[in-house]
Amino acid sequence: MYIVTGGAGLIGSNLVKALNQRGISDILVVDDLKEGIKFKNLADCDIVDYMDRLDFLRRIQSGWELGKIEAVVHEGACSATTEWDGEFIMKNNFEYTKMLLHWCQSQEAPFIYASSASVYGMGPVFREEREFERPLNMYAYSKFQFDQYLRRYQGALTSQVCGLRYFNVYGPREQHKGSMASVAFHFHNQILKEGKVKLFAGTDGYGDGEQLRDFIHVDDAVAVKLWLLDHPKVSGIFNVGTGRAQSFNDVARAVVRYHGQGEIEYVPFPDHLKGRYQSYTQADIGALRQAGYTAEFMTVEEGVPKYLAWLEQNPA
């Protein structure tokens, strides 16, 4: 059995679908469906069972036997960067992940979990080394602290453990995220509603809309996970990005080009984000390449139209 926590979310549900495409449906999805709209991400997926995240935790702690576990892919977390309830974040993100790590080790089951590029703070170097890690919010700190926890055990692991530091993931099955959805999603909706795309004016020395991010299509992020599942001898903490920063203007132009209409409007940069906004991210993917991953990543010009075509076929 495969266990996917956060399996109704963006990356989790796309992984479930990808496993289905491999002929695998013996999947337990663990999630929190208080926001029930996420069920739509699983409506075309085949799974053997669903379980609430807290019920799953209690069963694991009580010694529940599930038989052979092929792998646990842990995507579940509170990902809101604006959440400052540290007690909640650390229990939900840090302590929960620690429990799963040790349980997987006891089962000798591969454990692949979601870290985050947010651990690097403002950068400008985004490499999986302690000297470059400076989290700026509670979400980032919870991810950083678990990575630190894992590093203490790396020499004594009984099975594969991989932490994936996602950069700016976009693509199908993210409609439920609301304001936290990707800029490609929001730009698409702005074009349909207003006929124009709104970008932030320049900041931190960057021109209007020229702030740079490492945008990665969710299919590429899932492909990395599948490769790791196929290579259980590989363990470590890896950046998951394209290794190529592109501007918000690039994304906007790709959306306008897809629709064949629309214009770009620049709005004043919000005061509350000044000093807390990543104007530049670019994954150093050297460690992932060294581990043996050779597949290429989609550019914005390739990934955005692919995503928008899916959105038109699956309107929110």
If DSSP codes are grouped into helix, strand and coil, which group holds residue 306?
helix
Q: Give the tens place of pLDDT for each residue, 204-223.
A: 889 999 999 999 999 999 99
d(CA 246, CA 214): 6
Q: Looking at 96, 113, 139, 170, which residue is catalytic?
A: 139
Single-letter amino acid code for the residue at 154: Q
Using CA atoms, how far apart are residues 23 and 119, in angstroms rounded to an integer? 35
139 labelled catalytic: yes
3-class SS at 151? helix
Of 177, 196, 198, 306, which is the active-site residue?
Answer: 177
Residue closest to 285 by CA, chosen among 223, 238, 230, 215:
238
Q: Is 143 among the residues known to form the active site?
A: no
Distances (CA, A) of 192 to 72, 166, 207, 235, 250: 39, 29, 26, 44, 18
Residue 163 and residue 153: Cα distance in Å, rounded? 13
Model pLDDT, residue 165: 98
- Distance CA(280)–CA(246), nearest Å, equals 9
Could you give the count of Cα atoms lying within 13 Å of 255 in the half-sphere of its Cβ?
A: 27
How much is the pLDDT for 190?
A: 96
> Considering the domain 175-212+245-281+302-313 in this protein, what is its CATH number?
3.90.25.10
The domain ranges of the chain are 2-170+215-242+283-297, 175-212+245-281+302-313
Q: What is the pLDDT of residue 25?
A: 98
DSSP 90: I
Residues 231 and 165: beta-carbon distance below 8 Å:
no
Identify the pLDDT of residue 303. 98
CATH H superfamily, domain 2-170+215-242+283-297: NAD(P)-binding Rossmann-like Domain (3.40.50.720)
- Answer whether the bond into residue 135 is a cis peptide, omega within 30°: no
Token pair for 162: 């991989």
- Please tell me the distance from the alpha carbon of residue 263 to that of residue 93, in angstroms, as a whole number: 40
DSSP 8-state assignment for residue 280 = B
Which pLDDT value is given to residue 126? 97
Please tell me the distance from the alpha carbon of residue 34 to that of residue 111, in angstroms, as a whole number.
26
* SS3 category, 245: coil
- Residue 174: per-residue pLDDT: 95
Q: Where are the alpha helices (DSSP H) in 154-299?
A: 183-194, 218-230, 248-259, 286-291
Residues of the chain with pLDDT under 50: none
Which among 73, 71, 21, 75 has a CA at the least distance from the CA of 46? 21
